[in-house]
Amino acid sequence: MQQSLFDTGVITLPQAELDYRPDFLDQCSADGLLRCFRDSLAWRQDHIKLYGKVVKIPRLQAWYGDAGTQYRYSGLTLSPEHWTAELSALKLACEQACGQRFNAVLANWYRSGDDSMGWHSDDEPELGRNPVIASVSLGVCRNLDFRHKGTGQTHRLPLQHGSLLIMSGPTQSHWQHGIAKTRRVIGERINLTFRYIYC
């Protein structure tokens, strides 16, 4: 872990609090965690209902957390798997970087440029007001796009292997974010968003 108290990367957008730390993990730790999470997490192919049709979510996901932390998303409810040693260690590093506790993590595995995540805000009631979300990226660089709900302003943030993005304050109230598909032939990426769920 390479971050220090002075190594901050604030991104200035209206009505958002974003702090991007590209060097959160050293190369060797990031490589090891990518392999470890890909091979050992309880990946699932979930389905959601979209305009009355059941469709595959365009990525694999896994939900880990303390007992009682449930993940609700588009009519889907996931119960948490038990923390693994590697996830717990990464959670601790995120807690130290953010100065706050987390009790759950959503892992997303984008197997290729064909996998994506649609526009959304992490604003479910169980996250509380102005949630702090710590997002760790491993694998190929993908763009996280932001779109302001009122003005339509957009901002593109490439998320590097081993980076940490902290979203906090009013970000989720005023902005949506998503990962677009890309036609470039690219490899895989795993993203982990650590959250605090009120339950």
Ligand X SMILES: O=C(O)CCC(=O)C(=O)O
Which of 60, 193, 196, 197 binds ligand X (CB under 6 A)? It is 193
Q: Quote the CA–CA distance of 20 and 163 in Å, as a whole number.
A: 7
Q: Quote the CA–CA distance of 145 and 162 in Å, as a whole number.
A: 18
- In angstroms, how far apart are the furthest CA atoms of the chain? 49
Verify binding: residue 108, ligand X, rule CB under 6 A. Answer: yes
Reduce the DSSP state of residue 28 to 3 states and report it.
Answer: helix
Name the nearest CA neighbour of 48 among 37, 32, 35, 59.
Answer: 59
Verify binding: residue 104, ligand X, rule CB under 6 A. Answer: no
Nearer to ligand X by Cβ, of 29 and 137: the residue is: 137
Verify binding: residue 191, ligand X, rule CB under 6 A. Answer: yes
CA 140 from centroid of its chain's CA atoms: 15
Could you give the residue ranges of the DSSP H alpha helices within 7-113? 27-40, 85-98
Nearer to ligand X by Cβ, of 108 and 160: the residue is: 108
Nearer to ligand X by Cβ, of 93 and 179: the residue is: 179
What φ, ψ does residue 46 adopt, rounded to 5°?
Answer: -95, 160
Verify binding: residue 135, ligand X, rule CB under 6 A. Answer: yes
Which of 23, 122, 123, 124 binds ligand X (CB under 6 A)? It is 122
Verify binding: residue 62, ligand X, rule CB under 6 A. Answer: no
Q: Quote the CA–CA distance of 183 and 161 in Å, as a whole number.
A: 20
Nearer to Fe ion by Cβ, of 86 and 122: the residue is: 122
Q: Which of Fe ion, ligand X, none does residue 163 bind (CB under 5 to 8 Å by kind)?
A: none
Nearer to ligand X by Cβ, of 132 and 159: the residue is: 159
Reduce the DSSP state of residue 150 to 3 states and report it.
Answer: coil
Interacting residues toward Fe ion by CB under 5 A? 122
Interacting residues toward ligand X by CB under 6 A? 106, 108, 117, 122, 135, 137, 144, 159, 177, 179, 191, 193
